[in-house]
Amino acid sequence: MSRQQRLVPISLADLEHNAHITMDLNALDYYRSGANDMQTLRDNQEAFNRLRLRPRILRDVSKVNTQTKLLGSPVSSPICLSPTAMQRLAHDEGEKATARALVITVDTPFLGRRLADVRNVFKLPSHMSMANFETKDSKVTMANILDQPDKQDAAAQKLLNQGSNGAEKAAQGRNTKVVKQESSLAAYVVSQIDPTLNWKDIEWIRSITKLPIVVKGVMTAEDAKLAADAGCQGILVSNHGGRQLDGVLATIDALPEVLEAVKGRNVEVYLDGGVRKGTDVFKALALGAKAVFLGRPVLWGLAHNGEEGVSLALNLIQQEFELAMALAGCCQLSDITRDFVQHGTNAHSKL
């Protein structure tokens, strides 16, 4: 599509198109880039397209309900937000605008605004807290956050985010202006990542809190088992938007083996990467994900119109998801099962 004409957005793809027109090229390349050849970045979406739906008919779907519980807390939808850095590249209000559009999101250590500014936008429910754990001063930060008696018995999300290794981003690498302007920032970000993070850090977090722990970046059965053994209550299947190691599985393809590895254990499994449509949400839940997380689509909404753009992005995919449920014959999340999807390569034509 042309970069010259903005669309009236009726999908996340339209919001992305508009962002490509309105955003500064340097910022756009930072957001849309992936590691090396961007094979994994592309495959995250293409893998969803390889899955086909098997809808049921003659079911009462007059009332569709997407409510569920995550880590014991009720939520209105299984559509959540992944941590995304440098949101002010998309809009002047950055994380502040995103926060106003949300009830709660996952904290990221690389904010375009001071964290206090973001948290002051809204008051978290008394039983909620949030933190990200990946930078070199994380132990001090985490200990300070958890040194609050009123939080110790709360339901909260603690995210251990597998560190960045500074993998080359293809679009940025080809844009020499980006490399020149962003190199110092990129170097700083990489320098702050703690490369020594390991499963003993999970054990340390577990030793100082009763709060639920969610680990992000799990892509294999082996790590899923280690996460469960370490006492994690949640696993976020993620390849970090294809921005780290190129050539790894798409997250929707990695999901089944992770689920199988923790089957029968009290661990919730979520997914991010490649979710762009309501049918993608449906497919992920059909394969067993408890919830999905959005990254880039929220940035496209932010670039489109700040807080209202983020709200629009979430509303668009929520409406698509509810429609997909109804057309597939599901009125509540528990109706969505593995029987509703199959790989397109397994569909045999009878022509």
Which residues are part of the catalytic machinery?
Answer: 240
Q: How far is CA 85 from the centre of its chain?
A: 12
Whole-angstrom distance, CA of residue 221 vs CA of residue 219:
7
Whole-angstrom distance, CA of residue 210 vs CA of residue 208:
7
**If we measure between CA atoms, which residue out of 151, 150, 131, 129 comes closest to residue 140?**
131
Asked if 250 contacts 219 with a C-beta cutoff of 8 angstroms, the reply is no
Dihedral sign (CA 71, 76, 78, 84): negative
Residue 135 vs residues 10, 80, 176, 207, 314: alpha-carbon distances, Å: 38, 23, 28, 19, 29
Asked if 270 contacts 77 with a C-beta cutoff of 8 angstroms, the reply is no
Residue 12 vs residues 102, 170, 244, 319, 338: alpha-carbon distances, Å: 17, 23, 24, 12, 25
The residues, any chain, with a CB within 8 Å of residue 275's CB and separated by 6 or more, are: 48, 281, 284, 292, 293, 294, 297, 317
Whole-angstrom distance, CA of residue 217 vs CA of residue 237:
6
Beta carbons within 10 angstroms of residue 85's beta carbon: 17
β partners of residue 73: 70
